[in-house]
Structure 1
Amino acid sequence: MISEQSWADARVLWDYHQMHHELRPCSVAIGLGSHDLGVADTAADLYKRGMAPLIVFTGATSPTTRERMPRGEAVHYRERALELGVPASAVFVEPEARNTGENIRFSRALLGSTGVDVTSALLVSKPYEQRRAYGTARILWPDVEFVSASTEKTLGEYVRDIGDARMVLDMLVGALQRILIYPELGFMIRQDVPIGVEVAYERLCVQGFTSRLMK
């Protein structure tokens, strides 16, 4: 049973992890691989709304996705986008990336090799990965303007759709830890973390939502 305090703390992290960017047309949409097919849905919707003329789906597999997406995250995302009416000519697949840094680096290399001029990119991720992805992209591809995008849902709606509350809370905590420690390692830009967010994170750690923490 997850306590009311833990739910309240999770909502604090949920809101912080989202960048609240205003969407605008960009050179490309980059869909970051994960267990959540909602990323593909959002990327397809952005394409159909004229927000990007091209989509890159990036991602191999992970312990979380190996059974759900045996052909690889990017491949499953592409299949989903085609089902939703995106033409195959508008979708590139980068099937090797196994972390956020590789998502950005490999997508950059793929787009460079095909001659696509990228000045801006819609960075499409799970809602609670927006800030981590943005911070990573800014340090690895600094000359591109990134706009964060995700499925618009509340924490409660997202948990119901995923069907595993503890996994989602563990993910929220793990993403926040990386925002705290990755700048020191050179993996992402430094971002302000309000004291209330740190307190919520620490309480969730004490309550055992730690499976996604780095050792």
Structure 2
Amino acid sequence: MEEKHVKLGETIWNYMSMGHELKKSDVILVFGSHDRRVAEYAVELWHQGWAPWLVFSGGLGNLTQGVWDRPEADIFHDIAVAAGVRPDSILVENKSANSGQNVIFSYKLLNDNNIPTSSIILVQKPYMERRAYATFMKQWPGNIEETSLCVTSPRISFHDYANEEVGPMKNTVEIMLSDLYRVHTYPEKGFQIYQEIPPEVWEAYEKLMEAGYKWKY
């Protein structure tokens, strides 16, 4: 990638990462993805005592369909158990196909198991934090005003994020373009709450699209 495009991508990355401060909670809710580091980070949070329950949510989504042969939540579950998390501290929701379903199906699973949900740590990829937050705040079936939410992600910088699994930086940039467009358009569809996009962030989006970058999904 050209350096000017890297800087534009970093502008979007910084906006999409929300930087919430962690706080002790009832549940660590982990959205599935194509990045196993999300599961590994959630396991760290559990071992550190941030919440007693881990919920892994995700079937096969846009980035894992045809790539993984098992649901994202099942793979994340196995990562957690291998890293020493007690199986009786884990719940698995492996049918959801998008972020809205992650929220709705996980709520039902927690409710069915009589697990408190007054405070939740939501774990996603760094550049998915904002979209995950906006979706949760719109789709959570419980009383959102009585639910404390913080969103977090693996502590990885934009420049260090690329690896063999998630692909090169260009791949991440094109996924971010897709996600930012959804942050922009999904509120009017009723999928997410509205969030203001600063002019410089939308300008970065437009410049990357004009340069030939495309939505990844």
- For the aligned pair, the TM-score class normalised by the smaller chain equals over 0.9
> Which residue of 1 is the match for residue 151 of structure 2?
148
> Which residue of 2 is the match for residue 157 of structure 1?
160
SS in 2 for 1:147: strand
Report percent identity of matched pairs: 33
2:197 pairs with 1:198: no
Contact 1:125 1:149 in 2 (8 A): yes
> Which residue of 2 is the match for residue 5 of structure 1?
4
Contact 1:39 1:125 in 2 (8 A): yes
- Structure 1: which amino acid aligns with 2:29? I
> Which residue of 2 is the match for residue 41 of structure 1?
40
- Structure 1: which amino acid aligns with 2:34? H
- 1:180–1:63 CA distance, 2 compared to 1 (3 A): closer
SS in 2 for 1:61: coil
Structure 1, 160-169 or 139-148: larger mean CA deviation: 160-169
TM value normalised by structure 2: 0.94
Equivalenced residue count is 212
Unaligned runs of 5+ in 1: none
Structure 1, 183-192 or 155-164: larger mean CA deviation: 155-164
- Structure 2: which amino acid aligns with 1:93? V
Contact 1:28 1:54 in 2 (8 A): yes
> Which residue of 2 is the match for residue 169 of structure 1?
173
Q: How far off its partner does 1:65 sit?
A: 1.3
Q: Distance in 2 between matches of 1:153 and 1:68?
A: 24
Structure 1, 151-160 or 130-139: larger mean CA deviation: 151-160
Unaligned runs of 5+ in 2: none
TM value normalised by structure 1: 0.95
> Which residue of 2 is the match for residue 26 of structure 1?
25
- Structure 2: which amino acid aligns with 1:178? R
Q: How far off its partner does 1:160 sit?
A: 3.6
Contact 1:60 1:98 in 2 (8 A): yes
Stretches (4+) displaced over 6 A: none
> Which residue of 2 is the match for residue 56 of structure 1?
55
- 1:63–1:180 CA distance, 2 compared to 1 (3 A): closer
Which of 190, 208, 212 is the equivalent residue of 1:208? 212
- Structure 1: which amino acid aligns with 2:158? L
Q: How far off its partner does 1:76 sit?
A: 0.1
- Structure 1: which amino acid aligns with 2:55? V
Q: Distance in 1 between matches of 2:109 and 2:36?
A: 22
